[in-house]
Chains A and B, each alone.
Chain A
Amino acid sequence: MRWFETPDFNFLKAHKIGYVVSGILLAAALIGILTKGLQYGIDFKGGKTFVLQFEDPVEVQDIRSELAEPLGGAPEVKFYGSPEEVLIRTDNPDDITTVQNAITGAMGQLYPDNPNQVIKTDIVGPRFAEDLKRGAVNAIIFALIVIFIYILIRFKDWTYSAGAVAALFHDVLIVLGVFTLLSDIVPFSLQIDQAIIAAFLTIVGYSLNDTVVVFDRIRENSLLYKTMDYDEMINKSLNDTLSRTVITSVTTFFVVAVLFLFGGEVLRGFSFALMLGVVIGTYSSLFIASSMVIELNKRQQKS
């Protein structure tokens, strides 16, 4: 089987469309983030979450109102993968044991014939949450710096570094925007926690992987076809590597989708981020990273 045997797409023309598409996506992401704010999970906000497993299906709405009084304010209540399991998040500052007893006590009253058990708890203190958040921000900044330097060393041209890092910002911002906009719509948690940061860094790694392969071919072709027009040479490089780009993205997307479907609730948000990341990362490698290099090069030559 062969896809893209000898492809001859005009990516340079498509770059214009790419700018429009990316512009719209980025604007939507930014608006979403600015208006709704990032939806932090307890890792970065602090608080207590409890996952309760009931024997029979329950109603999220009933649980929320039943808990409002004992917890002093209605907690966040969501289904956790199935109608028998719910996740309860509260900021109640009391002792862990007290809060848990209040919850199980109230549930015993609400559902006397539907016993429950606590299958998972996460408690993060506000100071610790602050530390985790700082750690995450540092990790992302550090990753971007390391990548910038590595590409600078390997390709000896800052425009490549800048192109790659711009593409990474583009990818992460869009995924972050989708997370923020969809967080209330999808039936699973899209709150930003440590696992999501890990997913973001993996997206960064993946998107970069893709971008670097294209750059590598540009570097090779620039030596082979010295007389070729710069834009044309980049277009050729994108076409040369297109088959590989698509195949790898397809296989990676397959397995991440499997993880999303069968990996369990704990990994749902994580694998969702990766799914988005693979699609957007592939797109940005083809339409954003190299066009950034072209633009930057043009500017450099003009000045």
Chain B
Amino acid sequence: MQGNGTKIGFIVAFLAMSVYYLWPTIANTLEQNYIEDLPEAERTEYVEENAQRLQNLREESLSLGLDLQGGMHVTLEVGTPQLILELAGDYADETLEEVINIADQRALENNTDFIEEMVTVFEEKYPDARLSRYYRSDAQDITRRSSNEEIEEYLKNQRDSAVDRAMEIIRTRVDRYGVTEPAIFVQGNNRVVVELPGVANKERIRDLLKGTARLEFRLTATPDQISNARERVVNYYSELASDTTDTTLQQNNGQNPLTQVLATQTRNAYSFGYAAGRDTARVNELLQRSEVQDLMPRNVQLMWGASPFSETPQGQELFELIGVRPEAEMTGEVIEEASVNFDEATNQPRVSMNMDSEGARQWSRITGANIGKPIAIVLDGYVYSYPNVESKIASGRSSISGLENVQEAEDLVNILLSGALPASLEIIEERTVGATLGEASIQAGFYSTLIGLIIVAIFMIIYYHAGGAIADLALLLNIIFILGILAAFNATLTLPGIAGIVLTIGMAVDANVLIFDRIREEQRTGKTLRAAIDGGYSNAMSAIVDANVTTFFVGIILYSFGVGPIKGFAVTLMAGIVASLFSAIVITRVVVDYLTQEKSAEISFG
């Protein structure tokens, strides 16, 4: 019996700790059930009165994965090639672009770091040149003389800070959106993962995450330039339409493919034409042709209006294509404050902005020089409005109208204030699970665990009699331990995680099976019960250790390679192994020893 005191101490401590860490989860579940049963009127009052306490409970509870509570998981990638090109600024040339393109391709094929590949490609192609010709900058401690290694270091730092900044900006945006317990973290060297439990409006989140918030104030092109451009492009397609050899424009029956989708009877002198929402992509495609690009005057760029200006009787929303200057007069960095208010005349929401002093000075100059002409307010490549300048604006105030609703206005303010993203962000993975599916999964997981547990428990008693009952007790405690470990490590319970627990139930009895089978063997050799028990436990040990260590290794590997739910599975698998070893070896031994204290004691292992 020696040492059993210590063992019992361990068991009690382990159990107490598990219960301690699980308590908030239990309390939270009880509270939620209580709240659900309350009548509607009392419910709100109760929730308000206990808001703080309820929130604490929720935060300390074992958290559920998105697959169990519903929500959205998004992985965003910071566009490194683009960032590196932009960093070169005015020094960028075709050579650099080519190097970047080759490096991008290689990095993808070889799964290597893009910046390292870029340096390699550059050195291969231009052994006598230095990258510093593109990246010299006194402010950054790199000069013309900097070595390629120094530039590599510099570029990596720039990328890291771009990723950090992207993460911070996303955090600000998401926080203001009001998601409970969002998780935002960096993965690898250029990815940001965003997990948003319980989010229903996916589209809004996508816009919020991807909005680069590049705000520009641009002059419009002159009416002459716009009408000239239109004439040339329309003529080009008229000629092309009669040319039947061009197969890219088939099935047009000789009609002008552009005017089929774009109305050219314009709304005003600055508009190039308009199209239905579903046709805008086709219009873009037609305008993107290199022949068409060559026809366009250099100082005209066409941009779509952000919101429809009208609807057809059939309910098709119509969007306008506006001619603006290719370069921005001013960008959004000067914006200091932004808020939502309403246009007094139309009662439409709009976003009012205040500029800093430098911005106000510039704004005053620009507006002063363009009285009577429109200035386009462009956000992320869409024209929100292009009001006529009535008079010189010295206050540094401006506003964006043409917003669909208050929600859009609020999101815009949020994006403007959190700042522009340092580089383009692309959604490379997105997974969403509806709340009802999540709930169904919890139920499925719960019942699977319960049924699995009952089947194994009954089987063990039938097969090992008293020994089986002891193993069942250990199994029960085992599950409490696993949940306790998960709660203590702040792990998230996912559906594969529950599968891991279920699997552990099946495998957890393995250690006891090894021990009990061994005890039976020892008994067959004629040993006394006590001696057989001692022999059973000690002889089975090496097999138990080997078997579990190998599975534990697999858990570690799964954890380090897997993402999301797979990690959850790996964590429960590992927690399960630790917990089941403890229960199967220590707990059952204490119980067996206790039951066989008397020399004459009988205990059946089947």
Give the interface of A toward B (CB within 8 A).
1-3, 6, 51, 53, 96-97, 117-125, 127-128, 130-132, 134-136, 138-139, 142-143, 146-147, 150-151, 154, 194-195, 197-198, 201-202, 204-206, 208-210, 212-213, 215-217, 220, 240-241, 243-244, 247-248, 250-256, 258-259, 262-264, 266-267, 270-271, 274
Contacts and interface: CB of A to CB of B under 8 A. Distances in A.
B586 interface: no
Contacts of A53: 434, 436-437
Interface stretch (B52-60, B409-417, B501-509): B501-509
A122 B462 CA distance: 45
Contacts of A212: 543, 546-547, 550
In order of increasing CB-CB distance, the 9 nearest A-B pairs are A252-B506, A264-B444, A205-B554, A255-B452, A139-B561, A119-B434, A255-B506, A125-B428, A205-B551
Contacts, number: 222
B509 A248 contact: yes
B459 interface: yes
Interface string B444-465: 1101100110011001101100
B565 interface: yes
A247 B463 contact: yes
A45 B562 CA distance: 17
Contacts of A119: 433-434, 436-437
A264 B452 CA distance: 14
B216 to A, nearest CB: 23
Nearest to B460: A251
B117 interface: no
Q: What class of interface size applies to chain B in its complex with A?
A: 35 or more
Given A1-B462, A119-B434, A248-B510, A201 B557 contact: yes
11 contacts: A120-B432, A120-B437, A128-B429, A139-B558, A147-B550, A150-B549, A201-B554, A202-B503, A216-B546, A255-B452, A263-B498
Contacts of A142: 557, 561
Interface stretch (B83-91, B322-330, B513-521): B513-521
Contact of A255 (B428, B505, B543): B505
A255 B496 CA distance: 14
Contacts of A134: 111
A240 B77 CA distance: 56
Given A212-B547, A264-B440, A244 B553 contact: no
B195 interface: no
Contact of A150 (B432, B456, B553): B553
A121 B543 CA distance: 44
B543 A213 contact: yes
A63 to B, nearest CB: 19
Contact of A208 (B431, B440, B524, B550): B550
A251 B506 contact: yes
Given A121-B432, A205-B551, A209-B551, A195 B565 contact: yes
B444 A6 contact: no
Contact of A271 (B499, B520, B565): B499
B542 interface: yes
Contacts of B521: 240
Given A117-B434, A123-B430, A206-B507, A135 B561 contact: yes
B566 A195 contact: yes
A248 B544 CA distance: 13
B428 A262 contact: no
Given A198-B570, A266-B67, 5 more contacts: A1-B462, A142-B561, A197-B566, A248-B513, A258-B451
B336 to A, nearest CB: 32
A3 B433 CA distance: 46
Contacts of A130: 108, 111
Interface in B243-272: none
Contacts of B565: 194-195
B331 interface: no
Contacts of A135: 561-563
B430 A202 contact: no
Interface in B334-373: none
A196 to B, nearest CB: 10
Contacts of A266: 67, 441, 495
A254 B456 contact: yes
B441 A264 contact: yes
Contacts of A252: 503, 506-507, 510
A132 B431 CA distance: 15
Contacts of B560: 139
B224 interface: no
B524 A6 contact: yes
B554 to A, nearest CB: 4
